Amino acid sequence: MISLQNVSKTYSVRGDSSVLAVRNLTMQVEKGEFVIITGRSGSGKTTLLSLVAGLTWPTSGQVLLDGIEVWRLADKEQSLLRNKKIGFVFQFPSLLPTLTSVENVLLPTMFGDKVKGDRSRDRAVMLLEQVGLNDKLRSYPRQLSGGQQQRVVIARALMNEPQLLLADEPTSDLDELTEHEIMALFRNIHALTGVTVLLVTHSNDLAGYGTRLIRMAGGAITDLDD
Amino acid sequence: MHVIRLAIRNAAGNSFRSWMVFFCAALMAGFVISATLVIRGADDSLRLALERLGADIIVIPEGHERRLESALLMGIPVHCWMPDIIVDEVAALPGVVAVSPQIYLSTLRGAICCSLPELFLIAYDPATDFTIRPWLELNLDAGLALGETVGGSFVYVPAGEDKLLVYGYELDLKANLEPTGTGLDQSLFFTLETAYDIARLSDEYAVKVMDIPPRTVSSVLVKVGRDADVHQVAQLIEAEIPGVTPLETNKLFKDQREQILSLLHSVVALLVITWLLAMALIAVVFSLAVNERRRQMGVMRALGARRGTVLQSVLIEAWLLALSGGLAGIGVSTLAISLFQRAIIAVMNVPFLFPPPLRLAGLSFGALAMALSGVTLAVLVPAVRISLQDPAMSMRE
C-alpha cells in the first residue's frame, strides 16, 4: 500500500541552513498492517507521515500510496485523495475550537464528495458513541479532557472510512492510563475495520500494540522488527 | 457542515478580532456613505434650485447679489426694488426670448396676522412666467387664481386651520413643490394680483402694512435664445441698463459650489487616510488571525481541504464581518444624516437634500461594495499566503 524508495527530505530553515529530516529511507507497508514507528524527537517520524500523506514533498526519492505519487497530483486530486483514503490523528490539539464534537467529526465531509446530510451526521454520532463519547456530542473541545479530545480526533479520522490511518504521537500529552486506552482503541479499530495504521510514537512501551515495529534515528530506519 | 458555517463560527470564536474588523468595515462604509450623501445632497440641492429658477439670467437691483443668494439658498427673505420699466428694457435686448418679473416679499416675524414666520414670498406674473407655471400646469392642471398659493416642501397649514394667514390675508395652499433642500423649500409662490391684493388689505387686517412701491419689481427672470450666449447677453444688460446686476444662474451659488468642492477635496483626503488605516488594521488583524490558526489550516488541508477552500474560509469570514459592519455603518450614518440635516446645513452653510429611497439604496449598495472590496484587498495577502503554505509546515509551526 505504501512504498518509499530512497526518500530524503530536507527542510530549509531561516537563512541558508537546512535540516535533513529524512535520509535515504526505503520501506514498504502492506494493506492491513498496524505499523508502529518509534524514535526520539527529531528522528524524522512526523516528516515520514507527512511524506506518505503528500503533505510535503520529498527532496529526492519516490513515495507511492497505492501506486500513486500523491505530492505530484494536482491540488484538487491530492486533497480528494487525502479526504477519501487517509485519516489523521495529530500530536497537537487539532480540533477546531469553535465546533462541537459532532461538528468536528463531520469536518472531513465538508471537503469531500462522500455522504452528506443526515447520513453523515448519523455516522458521526455513531463514531463518537464507538469511542465512548455519546454524552459529549455537543461539547466544545475546551469542555473535554485531553483523552476525550483525542477520541474525537480518532472519530474524525474514521469519518470518511479511510484505508489508511496516520497517527502522529496520538498519546504524547496523555497520562499513562489514557495512553493505553487510546492505544487499545487503535488496536480495536484496526481489528474491526482492517484499516492500515501507521502510528508514530516516542514510547517504546507502546510497540506491542502494532503488528510491526520500525525504529528511526537521524532520519533513517535503524531497525525493522516484524 | 459548510464553509460558510465554519466562517461564521470562526468569526464568533474571537470576538475582539471580529469586532475590530466589524468596526473598521463600519467606519469605511459609513464614511463613504456620509461623504457621498452630504456632497451629493448639497450638489443636487443647488442643481435643483437652479432648475426651479428656470431662468438663464436674473436681473436684480445692483448690490443685492449676496442677499438674493441667501434668499434662494437659506430662505432668508430679501427686499429689493427697481422700476418695472426695466422689464421692457431687458425684453428689448437682442438674444432675450422671454422675460418675467417677480416681486420678493416676506411674512412678519412673531405677528398674529402671519401663520408662519419669516417666510420668503415670491409673486410672479402668470402672463409671462416660465419658471413655476410649467410645474403648475403639470401638477394642478391650471395656474393659481387670486388668493391661491403653492409652497415649498416645508410650508404647511398650521394644525386646526384650513388657510395660511399672510398679513391677515387668507391664502389657500393648493400644493407643495418637491423638496430642493434650499430656501425655496420655505417659500410661498402666488401671483402678482394676489400680492397686490394682500398689500391692499394689509392696512385693514395686518399689524403692519405690506408695502409694494408702485411700478416696481424685485427681479426680472430672463430666458436667452438657443443661439445666443448667456454671458454676452448678461454683459449687454449690464452695459445697457444702469443700476442693475444680471446674475447668470449657472454662476449662482459660486461660494457654495467652491465650498462643496473644497469639502470634497478634504473629504477625499480624509477618506483615503481612513481607508488606508482601516485596511492596514484589518490586514494586521487577519495576519494575526491566520498565524494563530496556521495549525488549524494545516489540519484542514490534511483532512482534504483544497487550497481554494482554505482561502475561501478566510475570505468568507472577512466578507461576513465586512458585510455586517458595512451595513451597520451605512445604517447609522444614514440615520444620523437624516436626523441632523438641519444641523449639517447650519454648520456647513450649504443646502442639503436627502436623496430619494431608490438613490439612497444605490448609494448604500455602492458604499457596501466599496467596503467589501477594501476588506477583501486587506485580507487577500494573509489569506493567499496561508492557503499556499505547505500543510506540513503549517502544522509544525
Q: Could you give the CA distance from residue B348 to residue B337 in angstroms, rounded to a whole number?
A: 13
Nearest CA in chain A to B5: A99
Task: Return the pLDDT at A224.
Answer: 64
Q: Is B127 helix (H, G, I), strand (E, B) or coil?
A: coil
B307 touches chain A (CB under 8 A): yes
C-alpha cell at B40: 451629493
- Asked if A83's CB is within 8 angstroms of B307's CB, the reply is no
- Evaluate if residue B160 carries a pLDDT over 90: no
B10 in contact with A, Cβ within 8 Å: yes
What's the CA gap between B328 and B43, in Å, rounded?
26
CATH architecture of the domain with range A2-225: 3-Layer(aba) Sandwich (3.40)
ipTM: 0.90
Contact list in A for residue B295 (CB cut-off 8 A) is 92, 94
pLDDT at position B168: 87
Interface test with A, best of B296, B303, B306, B311 (most A CBs within 10 A): B303
Low-confidence ranges of chain A (pLDDT < 70): 14-16, 113-117, 224-226
pLDDT at B327: 96
Report chain A residues touching chain B, CB-CB < 8 A: 11, 46-47, 50, 53, 55-56, 75-76, 79-80, 82-84, 86, 88, 90, 92, 94, 96-99, 103, 106-112, 156, 160
Give the single-character DSSP code of B144: -
Q: Quick one: pLDDT at residue B220?
A: 94
Q: Please give the pLDDT value at position A95.
A: 92
Alpha helices, H only, chain B: 3-13, 15-53, 65-74, 85-91, 133-140, 192-205, 230-240, 254-292, 294-302, 307-339, 341-348, 357-388, 391-396
The pLDDT of residue A212: 92
The contacts of residue B365 (CB under 8 Å, 6+ apart) are: none
Which residues of chain A have a CB within 8 Å of the CB of B301?
A: 55, 79
What does the pLDDT read at residue A226? 56
Quote the pLDDT of residue B244: 94
Mean pLDDT value of segment B256-281: 86
Q: Enter the C-alpha cell of residue B129.
A: 412666467
pLDDT digits (tens, 9 = 90+) for B284-301: 988 988 888 888 889 999
Q: Do A56 and B390 touch (CB under 8 A)?
A: yes
pLDDT at B253: 74
Q: Specify the amino acid at residue B39.
A: I
pLDDT tens per residue, range B193-221: 999 999 988 888 887 888 899 899 999 99
Which residue is closest to A107 within chain B, CA to CA? B1
Cβ neighbour number for residue B333 with a 10 Å cutoff: 24
The grid coordinates of residue B304 equal: 482534504
Check residue B102 and give its pLDDT: 93
Q: Summarize the confidence of residues B91-106 as an average pLDDT.
A: 93
Residues contacting residue B354 through CB under 8 Å, at least 6 positions apart: B37, B41, B181, B337, B338, B341, B360
**What is the band of B366 on the pLDDT scale with cuts at 50, 70, 90?**
very high
Q: How many whole angstroms separate alpha carbon B276 and alpha carbon B353?
A: 30
Q: Where are the domains of chain A?
A: 2-225
Residues 6+ apart with CB under 8 A from B136: B142, B143, B144, B150
Q: What is the pLDDT of residues B112-151, one digit of tens each?
A: 777 777 788 899 998 898 887 777 777 877 788 899 999 8
Q: Measured between CB atoms, which of B301, B305, B395 is closest to A90?
A: B395
CB < 8 Å to A110, chain B: 1-3, 6, 305
